[in-house]
Structure 1
Amino acid sequence: MFIETETTPNPATLKFLPGRQVMASGTRDFTTPEEAEVSPLADAIFGTGEVTGVFFGHDFVSVTAAPGAGWSTLKPQVVAILLDHFVSEAPLFSGGDAGAISVPAEPEVEDDPADADVIAQIKDLIETRVRPAVAGDGGDIQYRGFRDGVVFLQMQGACSGCPSSTATLKHGIEGLLKHYVPEVSEVRAA
């Protein structure tokens, strides 16, 4: 088995591609060792002591190094953990697939039922145009609400804390949503 790595726009995060499915559906973001306890794989990666985030996508795992951690020593450790996991065909989550379902974050704002058509358009654009591009960079994006022309989104994985995430939100995603959904006036990070 060979695990490829790719850089991401976030210099603290590397994307690891095991050449097979990681998550059957959805994504899962771990930002603390306590959250990672439901996944033997995420728990082992956090166990290096040099990681602040682990993200599972469909066919990749993104790992964010702690400040001061060097990828020259951390990368081989992560690759070894991933190899052990996938070669042994261990379950991704303790107790079966209970943790595999991506739990949607609580909305940042309560959606107005009168905006249902606009919200459906926004969600469709995020799913078909934005999410694939963000996944290519080792992350994901979650819809968190729409109110008074403002779309609230949360970046995850490699995109969370990325120096270019603000530019991505403001210039890329905001421009796309404004173009296709005139009711959108702004996009904000949630």
Structure 2
Amino acid sequence: MPKFRNWLEEWFGIPADEDDNGSPPKRPSSDSGTSGEFHVLRVQPTPNPNAFQFVINAPIVASGTRTFENADDAKGDSFAEALFQIYGVENVYLKESFVTVTKSETVGWHAVFERIGETIEEKIRFYDTSDESQVPHEEPESILDKFHKEDFPNCNEEEKTLIVEAVLDQAIRPALANDGGGLDVLGIEGNIVKVHYQGACGTCPSSTTGTLSYIETFLKDTLHSDLTVLAQ
């Protein structure tokens, strides 16, 4: 597909085919995606040099996220399986209307970029369930409306987890999503908040340094000064 070769040239200086006119793809009409046809509107880099975000013309997940950490996770899902058949693909992350694909450092984007883009357009489908579908989740507004910072140390671990989730939903996750990634709270043990990065954040060099430090500082200031954040 010419547009993926054009984007490849834009980001990496790979010459486009002679018959490519260099024009950006046309924006789909407002009803695109309603008949099951999805298109990649644009691609954009993330802070992780090994991850690119492919923005789709319509929502692909009803709510929440879908993450495929490896080929085993992808078994039984035709879309994810097709992406993991591309040598070098290490992680596939879906949220709202974008797909973030993370590749191995040993494979250059010039070798896989077009095939990844074409596979997304050929195989992408709508997911009406997400990884979080089975997890009870209270609306962040109701949790934080009832929350007082001084009460945090007296909360049990389940309550602390819900509060941390709500704070992350409001202040941290939107920024991570803009960069093609996400953050899953694995649980809280004492003052340790255990998290797992998703999508582009998973192998991003800054995720275990600057980003993690910012999240920890934010939770310390917002909830309790003794909190530490551990990425797993």
Class of the TM-score when normalised by the shorter of the 2 chains: 0.7 to 0.9
Q: Which runs of 5+ in 1 are unaligned?
A: 107-111
Query: 1:147, CA displacement in angstroms?
Result: 2.3
Question: What residue in structure 1 maps to residue 91 of structure 2?
Answer: 53
> Does structure 1 residue 12 correspond to structure 2 residue 54?
no
> Does structure 1 residue 64 correspond to structure 2 residue 102?
yes
> Does structure 1 residue 30 correspond to structure 2 residue 57?
no
Name the larger-Rg structure: 2
**Of 176, 193, 214, which residue of structure 2 is paired with 1:134?**
176
4+ residue segments displaced more than 6 Å: none
Cα deviation 1:97-126 (Å, max 9, x = unaligned): 5xx32058x9xxxxx963455433212111
Any idea what SS the aligned residue of 1:145 has? strand
Cα deviation 1:36-76 (Å, max 9, x = unaligned): 12321111111112211111111111111123211113111
By relative contact order (CA 8 Å, sep 6+), the higher-ranking structure is 1
Query: 1:80, CA displacement in angstroms?
Result: 0.9
TM-score (norm: length of structure 1): 0.82
Partners of 1:151 and 1:183 lie apart in 2 by 13
Residue 132 of structure 1 aligns to which amino acid in structure 2?
P
Question: What residue in structure 1 maps to residue 130 of structure 2?
Answer: 101
Residue identity over aligned pairs, in percent, reads 27
Distance verdict in 2 for CA 1:169–1:151, change over 3 Å:
farther
Question: What residue in structure 1 maps to residue 196 of structure 2?
Answer: 154
Partners of 2:197 and 2:170 lie apart in 1 by 16
CA contact (8 A) 1:40 1:92 kept: no
Q: Which runs of 5+ in 2 are unaligned?
A: 1-38, 136-153
TM-score (norm: length of structure 2): 0.68
Cα RMSD after superposing both structures: 2.5
Partners of 1:134 and 1:78 lie apart in 2 by 22
